[in-house]
Amino acid sequence: MGTIVFLGPPGSGKGTQAKLLADRYGFVHLSTGDMLRRAIKDQTPVGVKAKGFVERGDLVPDGIIIELISSCLSSIARQSKVILDGFPRTVAQAEALDGSSTTEVSKAVNFTVPEDILIERLTGRRVCSKCGDSFHLVFIPPKSPGVCDRCHGNLVQRNDDSERVVRNRLEVFRSQNQGLLDYYSNHRKFVGVDANQSVDSIQSELLKILL
Ligand code: AMP
């Protein structure tokens, strides 16, 4: 199956853009962060192992995450166009993806945003507790405060969007990012996107790249 990977720091809008592409153009959006949050909520064996790492903003060990994404990819129809959001985050994960027989990476899209803006975006982010849609107190306010535009669920702050955990997540991102960029810029169809723009402008750039 043709697979697109979205690279870039937390808060760069990968999830927002992937959701729009899934809703409007039929891409299958797979977010390892969403899978882990669901597993933690449901207290599955993976969720129990992952909980501490996610709460601290550390990476879940490669073995756990590779197994999670592999079993998910193997259940998806071969002709699907898949967007991986938040995977891979390490070179070992990228190598595992390339070693998979079910999927081939056709594009690696790198989202870039200055770090001070990321902190503002992440700490002001609110997500729907029902459908997972993402809003921002200032930049993407919901029509009614605290209520999801799409499904009317409650908007909440993710536990790992507190400033202390956000700073650790960005540190973890910095420690892995260069290796990943080297990996994809050398081997793959690599393309950069300036993600310090409006949701609509980024979406139109992506459409030019992906459709
Ligand atoms: P995200 O929703 O993508 O920001 O992910 C939330 C958290 O889930 C991260 O801070 C990590 O703890 C964990 N996580 C998500 N994807 C991965 C991955 N590919 N490798 C390791 N940990 C991950």
Q: What is the pLDDT of residues 127-154, one digit of tens each?
A: 999 999 999 999 999 999 999 999 999 9
Q: Is 89 a catalytic residue?
A: yes
Residue nearest atom 19 in ligand 1 by C-alpha distance: 87
Residue nearest atom 8 in ligand 1 by C-alpha distance: 33
Residue range 20-67, pLDDT digits in tens: 999 999 999 999 999 999 999 999 999 999 999 999 999 999 999 999
Is pLDDT at 188 greater than 70 in this prediction?
Answer: no
Ligand 1 atom nearest to CA at 85: 3
Two structure tokens written together for 66? 């590779």
* Mutate-to-test residue for ligand 1 from 32, 62, 119, 134, highest number of ligand atoms within 8 A of CB: 32
Two structure tokens written together for 139? 């930049």
Alpha carbons 96 and 105: distance in angstroms, whole number: 12
Q: What percent of the chain has pLDDT over 90?
A: 91
DSSP 58: P
DSSP 11-74: TSSHHHHHHHHHHHH-PEEEEHHHHHHHHHHTT-HHHHHHHHHHHHTPPPPHHHHHHHHHHHHH
